[in-house]
Chain A
Amino acid sequence: MEFNNEFYELEKSLSRAGADYKNISVPNDLEKKLEKVVKRAKRIHRFCIPAAAAAAMLTLVILPNTGAGVAYAMGNIPVVGRIFQAVTFRNYQYEDGRFIANVQIPQITLSDIGMETASSKASSELNETIKQVNFDIERMTEELVAEFEASAALGESYNDLEIHHETVTDNGRYFAIRLFIYQGAGSGTQSYQIYTIDKLSGRQIQLKDLFLEGSDFNTRLSENIREQMREAMAEDAGKAYWVDREENPGMNWKGLKEEQNFYFDADNNLVIAFDEYEVAPGYMGAQEFTVEKDVYEDLLK
């Protein structure tokens, strides 16, 4: 007892009331689920340096801008046409015990190889778009790095920052770059940011730009994704998505957002990306769902 006799009776009753607290029944399957979660977490190799090897280090590398000539020479690509590339133009690393950053900031470059640089309207629109996307990427990533540096300077809790990028679509029509962002402030969140560019119109596009005006593509796609969620949960009891939840239905996923991230896979199927917490509890991480072409083909523009 902490406060002598002052609260003696109350503290005794509180201890007794513990029986009611312990009456909160724990679901039988929780233990099995936890074993699965633990297994899944172990599979992901965290980047974690032993403290002894972790002398504070800070490296900022500005990589040379990979221009057209270089890309051509290095890749030795025997093509004529327009080459889209995402190159890491800035690399930021920081390591100091609890604070770990590994950031690659990309830029999209465009080069015309073996042909006259087109000067059409679409072409100048495309250049504008790429400039805008690069600007957006730079601003967002710099903000995250600044936030990270501020908390590292203060030594507040623990913090990771990971950003890397990947070209996820590059076909005749579309180019898409995906940024993976992991921000580990306290509990940590994973998210994706995808920039999808229509090479034909030269514009950055949203999901709705793909579909006929007035068509209910959202319901069509969302229902397909919900179905995939149900199947995944039926197959693996360790998986959970926010669909068909009867208790607390306010939490169920409500459908695609206007600015939903998406790209196309190698077979031209639509891939929809979700941030952590968007469609599933946090331990499921960020999620992607592929919707087959024939599900939505008739609604395309």
Chain B
Amino acid sequence: MIFTRTAHPGMALGVQTKGGEEAKRGEQVQNSKEELIQKTLLENYQSYYRLAFSYVHQEADAMDIVQEGAYKAMRKACTLREEGFVDTWIYRIMINTAKKYLKKYRRTYEELDEDCMVVEEESVNLELWTIVDQLPVKEKTLIILRYYEDKTLMEIADILQENINTVKSRLYRTLEKLRRELL
């Protein structure tokens, strides 16, 4: 099917061939995907926020990231293929958004890291969490998803769009590194 359209792209897409029926059905699918994404966002936003916070260590910025990720997820509803993977799909968008933030404001964050990253509270595991928190973003993400958010390796592979073996070996290396640091 070929059509040319010169209308404003912000307007609803008028498919004027026999694709009209398909388009209508497509719209229903689209709406149900939007509903699902909305529901998942509002159920799991705390997890997305914590992950974002562990990247940027700033409340306002972490809020921005989650809001932006939510906005993108809603607008990209049509690219969600497998509804069963909605959670990992949103995680992926959130992580990409957070990384974009880090990249854009690297200098600001580096300055911040030097002067105001002070941890005050005392707790048995705080030391371990502090070490995890200081890992490079890639490794930190792995640990958070696996041990704090209880994701399976399969789910993590889907979130990061990596091969499961790559995920597994990276996790192995990260654990080795942590063990060395703890000794």
The answer to whether residues A14 and B143 also contact, given A20-B123, A33-B67, A250-B108 and a CB cut-off of 8 A, is yes
Contact A10-B178, Cβ < 8 Å, known A2-B171, A17-B132: yes
- Asked if B59 and A250 sit within 8 Å, CB to CB, the answer is no
Interface pair B12/A45, CB less than 8 Å apart: yes
Q: How far is the CB of A140 from chain B (nearest CB, A)?
A: 18
Task: For residue A20, give the distance in angstroms from its CB to the closest CB of chain B.
Answer: 4
Taken together as a complex, chains A and B put the C-alpha atoms of A188 and B77 apart, in Å, by: 14
Interface residues as binary, B50-74 with A (CB distance below 8 Å gives 1, 0 otherwise): 1001100011110110111011101
A26: which B residues are within 8 A, CB to CB? 45-46, 49-50
A164 touches B2 (CB 8 A): no
Q: Which residues of B contact A158 (CB under 8 A)?
A: 76, 79
How many Å lie between the Cα of A45 and that of B27 in the bound state?
11
- Pair A38/B74 contact, Cβ less than 8 Å: yes
Known interface pairs A20-B125, A42-B34, A42-B74; A53-B41 also in contact (CB < 8 Å) = no
- Asked if residues B97 and A187 are in contact (CB atoms below 8 Å), the reply is yes
B:120-158 near A, CB below 8 Å:
123-126, 128-129, 132, 143-144, 146-148, 153
- Using Cβ atoms and an 8 Å threshold, which residues of chain B touch A162? 9
CB–CB A57/B2 < 8 A: yes
Partner of A102, one of B9, B26, B147: B9
- Closest Cβ of chain B to A93, distance in Å, is 6
Q: How far is the CA of A204 from the CA of B49 in the complex (A)?
A: 45
Taking a contact as CB atoms under 8 Å apart, the answer to whether B26 and A91 are in contact is: no
Given A35-B42, A250-B111, A17-B125 contact (CB < 8 Å): yes
Q: Which residue of A lies closest to B6 (CB)?
A: A91
Query: B22-53, CB under 8 A of A: which get 1 and which 0?
Result: 11011101100010001001100110011001
A72-105 contacts to B (CB < 8 Å): 88, 91, 93, 98, 102, 104
Segment of A129-137, A264-272, A276-284 in the binding face: A276-284
29 contacts between A and B (CB under 8 A): A2-B171, A7-B179, A10-B179, A14-B132, A16-B125, A18-B147, A19-B123, A20-B123, A20-B125, A21-B148, A24-B54, A27-B63, A30-B45, A34-B45, A46-B76, A47-B13, A50-B26, A51-B26, A59-B4, A184-B76, A186-B96, A245-B60, A248-B61, A248-B105, A250-B105, A251-B108, A277-B104, A283-B64, A283-B67
**7 interchain residue pairs of minimum CB distance:** A50-B26, A41-B74, A48-B78, A250-B108, A17-B125, A281-B64, A283-B71
Q: Which residues of A come within 8 Å of B, CB atoms?
A: 2-3, 7, 10-11, 13-22, 24, 26-27, 30-31, 33-35, 37-38, 40-42, 44-53, 55, 57, 59, 61, 88, 91, 93, 98, 102, 104, 158, 162, 164, 184, 186-188, 240, 245, 247-248, 250-251, 277, 281-283
